[in-house]
């Protein structure tokens, strides 16, 4: 429908079956859409190309999203969200609800290369050859929006904020004109990490504000700072078109070897609970603490806690399929959910969505005794989450759990415990367990097959009601965030909001507060500006990531040397230096599985090490607590007696060699950590040790020079050695013997130094 007709529909309201008084709204033409300003209600946005019209009731404007010429309850912004969602769910076809239950695979804007579903094409061609604009929808996106009725899209990298905003407007205009006019609910994994090489300028903005990782924010021991992050990040998300955060990750990090440790809020139940509550309150609450146009749905993960992976092996792979509870301690893992994210201070009351983890929570199903992945487990979802804890928000599976897998070691599907079911049968089992949505699934067909299975078992009425129950939950999150009223973005406003100088400044201040000083022998730090510094280059070994993408070996400076040069006089030899600055990463001790061990006759399972040098697991369990897979002919996953070494042992060598070269002159070691590590190999060679979880190099320099004082605390323990790591229970927090350094500092939970010595303030007293 042409723009002129939309305006005519607004003006000739007497032709409609609903008659009201004179209009109490005005229209404002924007680039690609129209804003409707109601004097006594919501601001609306609609595309001039989508074909929808405006309805006027009592002088106010409403969008006729299903184009039937009358105002349906779901189109009436005056009504409660619950009533609107139930009305719309009752009107939707089964196919439309099935599409609503999908959450797309990862989408980059523009798309390039390949995805799980093949090459990303635009009009049948690769993006670079297609002539498409960066904000255009890919062929796959058009298909899943139009043919599969998908309305939840996960975006990853974007070329720029303005491109993301334009893509949002293009996508929303497409779906506004089809079906029931249900808008897209776009989501994102965390995207506010810091670029270490970026320089901070208080007067300049960036692509998006840069903050410490979640673990770094936890190191501040300041929930109010976590909430400030949520409040700022939510504004930036909404300016990008993102209305759902696939975060926070509130797994209690009780297993120190777990590769996803760095996404958590640490290992202490009380600290993690307070941080989880603050994060969700920050994201979901608008200015008055309730839902509003700045709100972002928080999807907390991963129920019932993904932290206690046996041996630290991660659930993205079959070798890490089991979470274990040797301390019988599920309750601590539930606490960040039940007392944190589900018990908010703001008016939104609880996190609007939850994601179960891939893992099989071994022997935790006390009702049915099933050993299946958490999203397949009816006890964990229906009985525990929904029944005992009264949670009625959206439950969305983790990504790709219904896809097939060929072995335990490749990055493929993650159908743990149900490998022998068909794809459609997995969908049905997930629905029966009580979940509402399928993460990473673009196709409606298996959901429709699952519906047919349910009809055969329970009858049409039961399955229709079951689908409507999930539809209401999903729709409420779209209604609450105002997307039905206005899903469109003013690109100029997006450019002003995302990464503005105020937000960048707040993120930078948070980075400074996240840096932990563990050692400061003889008050080595701070070292004043313009001292002469020697910075040795770091060797980075060749590696492959989860997706099999290889990175060649290289030697590089560990810091942005242009930044270092602004603070210190960089010299090329230790002899000419006043001190040395060594930048390293914590030990990368592997993933706990090595296929070459299997090929040599072993079971494939090896230790995960938290030290740099070779480690032999002499004290590991003789028999694993859990095990078993259709792709293995054994159940004992023990790695006792096997040896591994960190892939970055060169970092340890670098520290020791630098100490030898510097003699009695100070050696400052800066460690980027992603989980606990054994410090005994490098601490004796360091005059001072500073650790961080991802900050700009400039923030580090501000600490080292004394421009800022370190104030952060360890949100987890640093173990004495690997023996204490083997002895600890995967599900129990703070049960390791911590490392004690040569200055008698104990690297325990809540430890940190400032210029005066060990920090012992209100934060320490509250949480330690």
8 Å CB contact between 669 and 614: no
Query: In whole angstroms, what is the distance from residue 46 CA to residue 487 CA?
Result: 8
Query: In whole angstroms, what is the distance from residue 258 CA to residue 206 CA?
Result: 32
Instruction: Name the nearest CA neighbour of 529 among 585, 500, 559, 569.
Output: 569
Query: In whole angstroms, what is the distance from residue 27 CA to residue 3 CA?
Result: 12
8 Å CB contact between 56 and 20: yes
Tokens 């301690």 belong to 329
Half-sphere exposure of 413 (CA within 13 A, CB side): 20
Distance of CA 405 to the CA centre of its chain: 24
Q: What is the 3-state secondary structure (H, E, C) of 213-245?
A: CHHHHHCCCCHHHHHHHHHHHHHHHHHCCEEEE
398 among known catalytic residues: yes
Give one DSSP letter per residue of 26-68, joined into a string.
EEEEETTEEEEEETTS-EEEE-TTS--EEEEETTEEEEETT-S
Length of the chain: 768
743 among known catalytic residues: no
| Torsion, Cα of 423, 429, 434, 438 (10° steps) | -10
Give one DSSP letter per residue of 388-406, joined into a string.
IS---SEEBPPTTTTS--S
Q: Which residues of 533-547 are buried (b: 16+ CB within 10 A; e: fewer)?
A: bbbbebebeeeeeee
Query: In whole angstroms, what is the distance from residue 34 CA to residue 13 CA?
Result: 18
Residue 528: how many CB atoms within 10 A of its CB?
11
Tokens 């009702």 belong to 367
Give the contacts of 390 (CB within 8 A, at least 6 positions apart).
none
Query: In whole angstroms, what is the distance from residue 305 CA to residue 60 CA?
Result: 47
Query: In whole angstroms, what is the distance from residue 545 CA to residue 525 CA?
Result: 36
Give the contacts of 245 (CB within 8 A, at least 6 positions apart).
187, 188, 190, 233, 234, 237, 283, 296, 297, 298, 299
Query: In whole angstroms, what is the distance from residue 742 CA to residue 748 CA?
Result: 15
Tell me if residue 678 falls in helix, strand or coil. Answer: coil
Give the contacts of 496 (CB within 8 A, at least 6 positions apart).
none
8 Å CB contact between 337 and 304: yes
Tell me if residue 518 falls in helix, strand or coil. Answer: strand
Number of helical H runs and strand E runs in the chain:
22, 34
Instruction: Name the nearest CA neighbour of 737 among 678, 683, 662.
Output: 678
Bridging pattern class, strands 297-303 and 353-356: parallel
The one catalytic residue among 398, 490, 594, 748: 398
Element (H, E) at 280: helix 269-284
Tokens 């002919």 belong to 633
8 Å CB contact between 740 and 681: no
The one catalytic residue among 148, 262, 268, 281: 268
Instruction: Name the nearest CA neighbour of 481 among 151, 190, 135, 733.
Output: 151
Tokens 């209600």 belong to 41
- CA Rg, the chain, in Å? 27
8 Å CB contact between 229 and 192: yes
Tell me if residue 527 falls in helix, strand or coil. Answer: coil
Half-sphere exposure of 214 (CA within 13 A, CB side): 29
Report the catalytic residues.
Answer: 268, 398
């Amino acid at each position: 429908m042409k723009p002129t007709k939309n305006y005519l529909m607004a003006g000739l309201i007497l032709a409609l079956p609903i008659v009201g008084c004179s209009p109490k709204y005005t229209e404002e033409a924007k680039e690609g859409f129209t804003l409707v300003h109601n004097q006594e209600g919501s601001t609306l946005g609609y595309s001039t190309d989508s074909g929808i019209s405006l309805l006027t009731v009592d002088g106010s404007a409403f969008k006729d999203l299903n184009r039937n010429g009358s105002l349906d309850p779901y189109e009436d912004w005056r009504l409660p969200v619950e009533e609107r969602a139930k009305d719309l769910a009752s009107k939707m076809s089964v196919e439309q609800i099935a599409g609503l239950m999908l959450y797309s695979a990862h989408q980059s804007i523009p798309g390039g290369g390949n995805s799980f579903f093949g090459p990303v094409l635009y009009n049948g061609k690769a993006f670079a050859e297609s002539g498409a604009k960066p904000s255009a929808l890919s062929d796959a996106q058009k298909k899943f929006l139009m043919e599969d009725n998908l309305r939840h899209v996960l975006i990853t990298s974007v070329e720029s904020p303005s491109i993301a905003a334009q893509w949002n407007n293009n996508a929303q205009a497409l779906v506004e004109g089809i079906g029931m006019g249900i808008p897209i609910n776009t989501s994102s994994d965390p995207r506010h990490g810091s670029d270490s090489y970026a320089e901070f300028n208080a007067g300049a903005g960036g692509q998006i504000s840069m903050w410490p990782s979640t673990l770094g924010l936890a190191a501040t021991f300041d929930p109010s700072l976590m909430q400030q992050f949520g409040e700022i990040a939510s504004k930036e998300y909404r300016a990008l078109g993102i209305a759902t955060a696939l975060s926070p990750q509130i797994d209690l990090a009780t297993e120190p070897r777990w590769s996803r440790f760095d996404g958590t809020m640490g290992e202490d139940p009380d600290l993690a609970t307070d941080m989880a509550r603050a994060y969700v309150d920050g994201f979901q609450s608008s200015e008055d603490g309730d839902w509003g146009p700045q709100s972002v749905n928080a999807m907390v993960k991963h129920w019932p806690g993904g932290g206690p992976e046996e041996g630290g092996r991660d659930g993205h792979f079959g070798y890490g399929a089991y979470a274990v509870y040797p301390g019988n301690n599920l309750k601590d893992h539930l606490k960040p959910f039940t007392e944190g994210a589900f018990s908010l201070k703001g008016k939104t009351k609880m996190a609007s969505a939850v994601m179960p983890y891939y893992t099989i929570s071994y022997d935790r199903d006390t009702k049915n005794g099933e050993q299946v992945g958490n999203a397949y487990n009816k006890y964990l979802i229906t009985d525990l989450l929904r029944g005992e804890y009264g949670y009625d928000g959206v439950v969305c599976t983790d990504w790709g759990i219904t896809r097939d897998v060929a072995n335990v070691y490749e990055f493929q599907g993650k159908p743990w415990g149900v490998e022998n079911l068909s794809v459609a049968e997995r969908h049905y089992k997930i629905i029966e367990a009580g979940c509402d949505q399928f993460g990473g699934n673009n196709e409606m067909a298996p959901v429709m097959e699952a519906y047919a299975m349910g009809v055969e078992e329970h009858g049409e009425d039961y399955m229709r009601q079951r689908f409507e129950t999930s539809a209401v939950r999903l729709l409420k999150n779209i209604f609450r965030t105002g997307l039905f009223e206005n899903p469109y973005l003013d690109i100029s406003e997006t450019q002003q909001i995302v990464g503005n100088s105020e937000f960048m400044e707040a993120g930078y201040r948070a980075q400074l507060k996240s840096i932990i000083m563990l050692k400061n022998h003889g008050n080595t730090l701070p070292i004043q500006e313009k001292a002469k510094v020697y910075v040795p280059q770091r060797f980075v070994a060749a590696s492959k990531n989860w997706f099999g993408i290889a990175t060649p070996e290289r030697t590089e400076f560990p810091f942005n040397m242009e930044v270092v040069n602004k603070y210190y006089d960089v010299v090329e030899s230790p002899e000419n230096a006043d001190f040395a600055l060594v930048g390293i990463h914590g030990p990368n001790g592997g993933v706990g599985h090595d296929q070459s061990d299997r090929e040599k006759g072993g079971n494939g399972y090896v230790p995960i090490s938290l030290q740099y040098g070779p480690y032999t697991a002499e004290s590991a369990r003789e028999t694993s607590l859990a095990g078993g897979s259709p792709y293995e002919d054994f159940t004992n996953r023990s790695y006792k007696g096997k040896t591994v070494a960190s892939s970055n042992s060169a970092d340890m060598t670098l520290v020791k060699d630098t100490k030898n070269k510097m003699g009695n002159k100070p050696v400052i070691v800066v460690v980027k950590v992603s989980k606990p590590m054994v410090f005994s190999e490098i601490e004796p060679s360091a005059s001072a040790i500073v650790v961080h979880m991802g900050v700009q190099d400039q923030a580090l320099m501000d600490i080292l020079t004394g421009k800022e004082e370190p104030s952060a605390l360890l949100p987890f323990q640093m173990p004495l050695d690997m023996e204490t790591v083997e002895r600890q229970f995967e599900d129990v927090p703070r049960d390791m013997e911590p490392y004690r350094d040569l200055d008698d500092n104990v690297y325990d939970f809540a430890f940190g130094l400032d210029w005066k010595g060990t920090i012992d303030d209100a934060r320490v007293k509250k949480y330690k």
